[in-house]
Structure 1
């Protein structure tokens, strides 16, 4: 049957950091890169600067964009290979790289029910290799760094935070014949609420704040 002839499908949209993973994928990926290149002190200073900016009220969209300056002038291929090596290390030390409940089990249940899984995250693809190994069918809506001559420029298309996540989910749903009212959404931060509000069932983990739990059948 052609995709266009099918009825609207149900999808589970999920944030990643703090929702699916017990760690921040982009921060820890940066640390892994720094370890390989003996730049540990520089990395901690860089990350501390991002945390300080956030504590001083700088919007998440701005700090997320600043994060990608770390990768300026780095080969896209090199960083992709780095992501594979980091995922290999995580697989070898799985106990140190936990996936979080209840969302992990909910995503597994969605897979069993034939629903599509879509990550909606401010992270980027090389930092998400292990997550995609865990759920091979996972589609990614993530931050897209700008590239020139095969290297990252240090800039991004758009920080995938807040309303940007909502716009991305709406575009995905429109382009993939998704029944949003029959779909599910998961997040862990108030900035996730705009995209979560599009789904018929949603769960804001670690903070109930009026968002309904998502039963899976």
Structure 2
């Protein structure tokens, strides 16, 4: 690697960098802010859970989520995302971040590596997280927006193989050396992203990922239990 080549740390967000599933936590917060009863959130998320139980692909469930936001103002969603981020710090007694991953990513930034978040979530909950941790880029699911409103469609769910392709495409554009870069993920759907770099790190105890974590060159982080 020459002196001008940069490296990066790519990180999944939900249940890797942060303790929660941002899409669902944000949706619950957003609906409550609109005055919707708790039953609305339960009904909408129940439909998504039923799709999972019927064997729907993770990417398909991701698309279904964004259809719930059809007609919503992109600006309002972004504003509510900032409020949601502040609210989570009040709701979660142990903080929003998984401390072991937060510390690891802070170390990469200190070493001069780019920090890139890679997530199936979207701009509303992700932008405040990215700003807070100092991410240089976010590779996320991009809802289609027309005349300031979400259409309910997305360009491509940032799930599975799409994560791997996004990381590989980002490298030449940003002058990044993937062989010298890191990636962090907690779920088997993060495997394409983890395999795209020279230093993959498995976060948590996902059984499918645990097999890969034992391979040479792979790292592992096992976060401790939350304080009570």
Q: Assess same fold via TM > 0.5.
A: yes
Question: 1:62: Cα distance to partner?
Answer: 0.1
Q: How many residues align?
A: 211
Change (3 A) 1:67 1:97: farther
Residue 18 of structure 2 is aligned to residue 21 of structure 1: yes
Aligned to 1:209: 211
Aligned to 2:87: 89
1:1-217 equivalent positions in 2, closer than 5 A = 7-39=4-36, 40-93=38-91, 95=93, 97-207=95-205, 208-211=210-213, 212-213=218-219
Separation in 2, partners of 1:96, 1:55: 31
Q: Which moved more, 1:112-121 or 1:38-47?
A: 38-47
Question: 1:92: Cα distance to partner?
Answer: 4.0
Gaps in structure 1 of 5+ consecutive residues: none
8 A Cα contact 1:201 1:214, kept in partner: no
Separation in 2, partners of 1:56, 1:189: 20
* RMSD value, Cα: 1.8
- Per-residue displacement from partner, 1:60-100 (whole Å, max 9, x unpaired)? 00000000012111111111111111122224445264311
Separation in 2, partners of 1:97, 1:60: 27
8 A Cα contact 1:118 1:141, kept in partner: yes
Separation in 2, partners of 1:214, 1:115: 19
Separation in 1, partners of 2:22, 2:192: 22
Question: 1:147: Cα distance to partner?
Answer: 0.8
Gaps in structure 2 of 5+ consecutive residues: 222-228
TM-score by length of 1: 0.91
- Look up the SS of the partner of 1:147 in the other structure: strand
Moved over 4 A (4+): none
- Look up the SS of the partner of 2:44 in the other structure: helix
- Look up the SS of the partner of 1:104 in the other structure: helix
Q: Which moved more, 1:174-183 or 1:47-56?
A: 47-56
Change (3 A) 1:213 1:152: same
- Look up the SS of the partner of 1:41 in the other structure: helix
Separation in 1, partners of 2:127, 2:196: 27
Select the structure with the greater relative contact order (CA < 8 A; seq sep ≥ 6): 1
Question: 1:36: Cα distance to partner?
Answer: 0.9
TM-score by length of 2: 0.87
